[in-house]
A and B are shown apart, each in its own frame.
Chain A
Amino acid sequence: MVEIVFLTPFITGIIAFFLPKAISRQLLVATGAIHLFLSLFLWKNRPEAIFKSYFAVTPEGLLSLLVISLLFFLISIYTVAYLKESDIQKENIFTGSMILFLSTMTMVTLSDHIMVMWIAIEATTLASAPLIYTHRTSASLEATWKYVLICSVGIAMALLGSVFITLAMDIGNVDAPLSFSALTKVAGELDPMWLKAGFVFILVGYGTKMGLAPMHTWLPDAHSEAPSPASALLSGVLLNCAYLGIFKTNKIMHAAGLNDFSGTILIVFGLMSILAAATFILKQTEYKRMLAYSSIENMGIIAFGTGIGGIGVYGAMICMIHHSLIKSSLFLSSGNILLGYGNRFIENTGDMVKRMPKTFVAFFGGFAGISGFPPFGIFIGEMFIIVGAFRTGHFLAAGIFILSLCVIFAGFANQVMKISFDDFKKGDFKKGGSNKIIGLKERASMVWPQYILLLTSLVLCFYMPDTLYQTIIDAVTALGGGLK
Chain B
Amino acid sequence: MSQFFMSILIIVFGGFLSLILARQFKLMKMVAVFSLSAGCFWGLFDAVTKLMQSGSDAASFKYLNVFSLAFQIDGLSAFFLVVIFAVCLVAVIYSFHYMDHSGEAVRTAVHYFFFSILIASMALVVTAANMITFMLSWEIMSLSSFFLVIYNYESSENRKAGYLYFVFSHVGAMFIFAAFGIVYGYTGSFGFGAMDSIPETAKIVVFIFSFIGFGSKAGVFPFHVWLPHAHPAAPSHISAVMSGVMIKIGIYGIVKMYTLLNFHTPLFGNIVLVAGVVSGILGVVYALGQHDLKRLLAYHSVENIGIILIGLGIGMIGVSSGNPLMAVLGFSGGFLHVLNHSIFKSVLFMGAGMVLHKTGTRTIDALGGLLKKMKITGATFIIGSLAICGLPPFNGFVSEFFIYIGGFKGIGLENSAFVMSIFAIISLAVIGGLALACFTKVVGVVFQGEPRTKAAVNVDEKGSTMLASMLILAGACIFIGIFPGAFIQMSIKAVSALGLGYGHVPLEPFGQMTANITFAAMVFLVSLLVVIAIRWFYYRGKTITKSGTWGCGFTQPTAKMQYTGSSYAASILEFFSPAAPLDEDHPKIKGRFPEKTYYKSHVNDIAELNMKGVIVNPVLFIFDKLRWIQHGDIHLYIGYILLAIVLLLFFI
Contact = CB atoms under 8 A, between A and B. Distances in A.
**Chain A complexes with chain B:** yes
Contacts, number: 148
Contacts of A448: none
Contact of B188 (A146, A278, A391): A391
B1 interface: no
A60 B156 CA distance: 47
B369 interface: no
A145 B143 contact: no
A469 B63 CA distance: 12
B3 to A, nearest CB: 23
Given A200-B652, A375-B140, A421 B174 contact: no
Contacts of A399: 178
A133 to B, nearest CB: 16
Of the candidates B66, B156, B637, the one having the most CB atoms from chain A within 10 angstroms of its own CB is B637
A387 B644 contact: no
A279 B644 contact: no
Interface string A172-192: 000000000000000000000
A11 interface: no
A149 B636 CA distance: 12
Contacts of A484: 188
Contacts of B549: none
B426 interface: no
B648 interface: yes
B260 to A, nearest CB: 16
Nearest to A406: B171
A157 B627 contact: no
Interface in B412-458: none
B59 interface: no
Interface in B142-196: 142-143, 150, 153-154, 156, 159, 162-163, 166-167, 170-171, 174, 177-178, 180-182, 184-185, 188, 190
The 6 closest A-B pairs by CB, nearest first: A390-B185, A390-B181, A387-B184, A217-B637, A421-B153, A214-B640
B640 A387 contact: no
Contacts of B627: 279-280, 283
Contact of B159 (A150, A197, A421, A466): A421
Interface in B111-152: 131-132, 135-136, 139-140, 142-143, 150
Interface in A251-284: 261, 265, 276, 278-280, 282-283
Q: Name the residue among B140, B180, B182, B648 with the largest chain A CB count within 10 angstroms.
A: B648
By size class, the interface of chain A is: 35 or more
A383 interface: yes
A483 interface: yes
**B-side binding surface: helix, strand, loop or mixed?**
helix
A371 B177 CA distance: 14
Given A146-B637, A200-B652, A383-B132, A469 B65 contact: yes
A282 B644 contact: no
Contacts of B561: none
A374 B64 CA distance: 14
Nearest to A368: B143
Given A280-B630, A417-B150, 10 more contacts: A193-B652, A265-B648, A373-B140, A374-B143, A380-B132, A390-B181, A417-B162, A417-B163, A421-B153, A462-B63
Interface in A323-378: 353, 368, 371-375
Interface string A401-423: 01101110110011001000111
A218 B637 contact: yes
A238 B153 CA distance: 37
Contacts of B143: 368, 373-374
Contacts of B139: 372-374, 379
A39 interface: no
Nearest to A145: B634
B178 A386 contact: yes
A447 B348 CA distance: 43
A398 B641 contact: no
B614 interface: no
Interface string A136-174: 000000000110011001100100000000000000000
A66 interface: no
Nearest to B171: A406
Given A214-B629, A402-B177, A413-B163, A469 B64 contact: yes
B645 interface: yes
Given A153-B641, A280-B627, A469-B64, A200 B153 contact: no
A139 to B, nearest CB: 11
B626 interface: yes
A201 interface: yes
A403 to B, nearest CB: 8
A227 interface: no
A371 B638 contact: no
Interface stretch (B28-36, B534-542, B616-624): B616-624
B638 A383 contact: no
A374 B170 contact: no
Nearest to A389: B181
A132 B215 CA distance: 48
Interface string A271-307: 0000010111011000000000000000000000000
Contacts of B638: 149-150, 153
B649 interface: yes
A2 interface: no
Contacts of A405: 174
A1 interface: no
A319 to B, nearest CB: 14
A409 B167 contact: yes
Given A387-B180, A464-B65, A150 B637 contact: yes
Given A150-B634, A276-B629, A389-B181, A215 B640 contact: yes
10 contacts: A197-B649, A217-B640, A265-B648, A373-B139, A379-B135, A383-B135, A402-B177, A409-B171, A462-B63, A469-B66
